[in-house]
Amino acid sequence: MTPLQQELWEKACAFHGHICPGLALGARVCEAALEAGFKPSEDEELVCITENDACGVDAIQAVLGCTFGKGNLIYKGTGKHAYTFIQREQGRAERFYLRARKEGRNRADYLAYVLEAPLDELFVRKDVQVALPEKARIFVSVDCEICGEEAPEHKIRLQEGKKVCLDCYREYERGF
């Protein structure tokens, strides 16, 4: 492992709390993004669209500074081990898709493989065109008229003339 790989791995492990192949994949995609010229984000300069909610996403938060709280980590639930990184200033985007499968390897062997394999053996990398996501906004909070809890106004629904949160809202469907 190079010193950079070791640093990224240790940072990811400290954040995630344990060692696993999924976290290793996240640390390696961070390495691939850095190698491709993407810079870690202090605010929303770098955006990551992750297509899964697995362990590797913790590495992206710890290493690259993309977080749900800052609004620069966006979840697109395809279940794929794919990550699109967007550098806002340049409007440049690249998607990294996992090509390396676990087939025939036990957990320990796969972990070692992920940590040692060349990046181009692990990921397919390609330039993509994506619309820049809007920067995070702060919304007015509204009290739910059923439970009394606050929710941001864009998550409030009208139901029988009352402002209600998504937890209290009863969806109306008559489809077949």
30-44: pLDDT as tens digits? 999 999 999 999 999
φ/ψ of residue 115, rounded to 5: -70, -25
Q: Kindly state whether residues 8 and 62 are assigned to the same domain.
A: yes
Instruction: Look up the CATH number of the domain holding residue 174.
Output: 3.30.60
Q: Kindly state whether residues 38 and 19 are assigned to the same domain.
A: yes
Residues 6+ apart with CB under 8 A from 175: none
Domain range for 34: 3-127
Give the pLDDT score at 63.
97
**Does residue 166 lie within any of the structural domains?**
yes
Give the pLDDT score at 175.
75
Q: Kindly state whether residues 47 and 73 are assigned to the same domain.
A: yes
15 touches 40 (CB < 8 A): no
Instruction: Look up the CATH number of the domain holding residue 78.
Output: 3.30.1330.130
Q: Kindly state whether residues 89 and 70 are assigned to the same domain.
A: yes
Q: Kindly state whether residues 12 and 82 are assigned to the same domain.
A: yes
Q: Kindly state whether residues 80 and 145 are assigned to the same domain.
A: no
Number of structural domains in the chain = 2
Write out pLDDT tens, residues 60-119: 999 999 999 999 999 999 999 999 999 999 889 999 999 977 788 999 999 999 999 999
pTM: 0.84
Alpha-carbon span 126 to 65, nearest angstrom? 22
Instruction: Give the domain-ending residue among 105, 127, 149.
Output: 127
Q: Kindly state whether residues 89 and 67 are assigned to the same domain.
A: yes
**Does residue 133 lie within any of the structural domains?**
no
The percent of residues in the chain predicted with pLDDT above 90, rounded, is: 84
Q: Kindly state whether residues 87 and 117 are assigned to the same domain.
A: yes
Q: Kindly state whether residues 116 and 157 are assigned to the same domain.
A: no
Identify the weakest region by mean pLDDT among 43-52, 83-92, 131-140: 131-140
62 touches 31 (CB < 8 A): no
Q: Kindly state whether residues 149 and 121 are assigned to the same domain.
A: no
**Does residue 63 lie within any of the structural domains?**
yes
**Does residue 103 lie within any of the structural domains?**
yes
Give the pLDDT score at 31.
97
Summarize the confidence of residues 155-172 as an average pLDDT. 95
Q: Kindly state whether residues 147 and 123 are assigned to the same domain.
A: no
Q: Kindly state whether residues 84 and 144 are assigned to the same domain.
A: no
Cross-strand partners of 66: none
In the predicted structure, residue 176 carries a pLDDT above the cut 80? no
